[in-house]
Structure formats: structure tokens, C-alpha cells
Amino acid sequence: MIMDRHEEIQMIRKLAEARAEAEERDMPDEEPYVLFENVRKVYHVGEVDIEALADASFSVRKGELAVVVGESGAGKTTLLNILGGMDTLTSGRAVLDGREISKMNTRELTNYRRYDIGFVFQFYNLVQNLTALENVSLATQICKDPLDPRETLKAVGLEERMNNFPGQLSGGEQQRVAIARALAKNPKLLLCDEPTGALDYVTGKQILQLLQDQARNMGTTVIIITHNKAITPMADRVISVRSGRVQSIEVNRKPLPISEIEW
């Protein structure tokens, strides 16, 4: 069967919805796209052991937008870094698309970060002496099947700013470049660590809308980390973390557009 991109996206979303429904009825399912199983992470600092994750389990379906919410120190960044192949776990299992991240060696992890993961950070982390377009192009040079950097920048609303340096852009625009850079890699998973943490209210909302649209319209699997409980109605799935444990997982059958959320 030959599908165009739009049909493919519709199908991914329909599948995600059907699976979420099956899950609500407590039906067994195939292994989920993203899986965290009894993950424990202990940092050793001098003589002290710090348990950042005690026993964290959750799953995310392909094409979903998931929000991981919890107070500062709950273990959110640790969780995202393990999922992104930037940190290792002490025990348990982490899986993306049938591949166990927690079993990868250093070289496999390098490739995993390169090809499979798009990362968006709170403070954008752009290269200051490269233009917006060059920042995005640079990231695509190490990928297998990247998207066109210009098209990607256009899609995040920066058609007119491609040749500006980060210092010439507002915070919201810089974050759009960072999102374009992550998306242009055409990753399996987009991970965002407090992506609106450095932005004002209105700009933050625009960035969240962009991320929600990306999951809705493009079928990208997106995980956003936040300490802001108020934004959870935007998500297909809400994973609440506290003291290194997953406290609850809620599936939103009708996620709200950002414009309908106030905080």
C-alpha cells in the first residue's frame, strides 16, 4: 500500500488513539514505542549515593505528545537524559522502538543520539557564531535521512530570520531554531527539557503550540518535561513524577489546544 505523508500521519494518530483506548480497558498490547521499566538511577557523589530515580515505569505510544511533570529534583532531567542516551541507568530497562537503550555500548549510544533523538533544551544551546540556518544545517550533516533545513525553519515560522545569528533573535525565536534543529534530524523521538523555562508567558505558549502541532500534524512522538502542572491538559499522556517514582499516568482523550489553557 502506498500512502502519502498525510495519510501516514492520520494512521499513526488513529493507531495511537486505538492503543490508548485498549490500554484504558486494560488490554494487553505489543511492546510500546517508548518504555521505561523499573528504572533506578543512583549518582555517587564522593561518599554519598543520590537516588535520582528510585523505580520509574511508564510507556509512550508512537505519535503521542507526553508531558512528564514534577517538582524540581523529582528526577525529570535524569529520566530524559537516560531516554536520550546521554546518561546510563543503574538498573531496569529503557526501550525505544524495540531497541533497548540500556544495553547499548558507547558507539551504539553515539549513533542513537545522532540518528534517533532530537533534543531541545531550556536555554536553546545554539552555536552563537553560526546563523539560524547554519545551526540547523550543521545538525543535519550528521544524520541519515534529514529534512531540508530551510523548509524546517520555515515550518517553525522563521522563514525571514534564517540568516540571523542567535544574538539577533529573541528568546522565542532562538527556541524555534533549536526546535527546527532537532526536527530537521527527522528523529524518532523529540525530547524537550523545560523548553519554555526561559521564555515569557505568551512566547512560551507559542512554543508549546508548535510542539503540540508537531505531534498532531506530523505524527512526531514528543516528550516534554515541565514543573508546570497547568500545561498538562495539552498532552495525550501525563506522567507525574515525584521523588524518583512515577506517581500516576493519565491518558487525555481530548487534549486541549494551548490557547484554551491559562496559568
Q: Which residues bind ligand ADP (CB under 6 A)?
A: 43, 45, 50, 52, 70, 72-78
We find the least distance from the C-beta atom of residue 227 to ligand ADP, in angstroms, to be 7
Q: Under a CB-based contact definition with an 8 Å cutoff, are residues 68 and 241 in contact?
A: yes
Q: Cα–Cα distance between 231 and 255 in angstroms, integer?
A: 10
Question: What is the DSSP secondary-structure string of 205-228?
Answer: HHHHHHHHHHHHHH--EEEEEES-
73 contact choice in Mg ion, ligand ADP, none (CB below 5 to 8 Å, kind-dependent):
ligand ADP
We find the least distance from the C-beta atom of residue 186 to ligand ADP, in angstroms, to be 27
Sequence-ordered list of residues with C-beta below 8 angstroms from that of 8, at least 6 positions apart, any chain: 219
Q: Which is nearer to Mg ion, 69 or 136 (CB)?
A: 69
What Rg do the C-alpha atoms of the chain give, in angstroms? 18
Q: Which is nearer to Mg ion, 76 or 176 (CB)?
A: 76
Q: Under a CB-based contact definition with an 8 Å cutoff, are residues 191 and 125 in contact?
A: no
Q: Which is nearer to Mg ion, 77 or 152 (CB)?
A: 77
214 contact choice in Mg ion, ligand ADP, none (CB below 5 to 8 Å, kind-dependent):
none
Q: Under a CB-based contact definition with an 8 Å cutoff, are residues 196 and 204 in contact?
A: yes
- Binding to Mg ion by residue 77, rule CB under 5 A? yes
- Binding to Mg ion by residue 135, rule CB under 5 A? no
Q: Which is nearer to ligand ADP, 73 or 92 (CB)?
A: 73
Contacts with Mg ion by CB under 5 A lie at 76-77
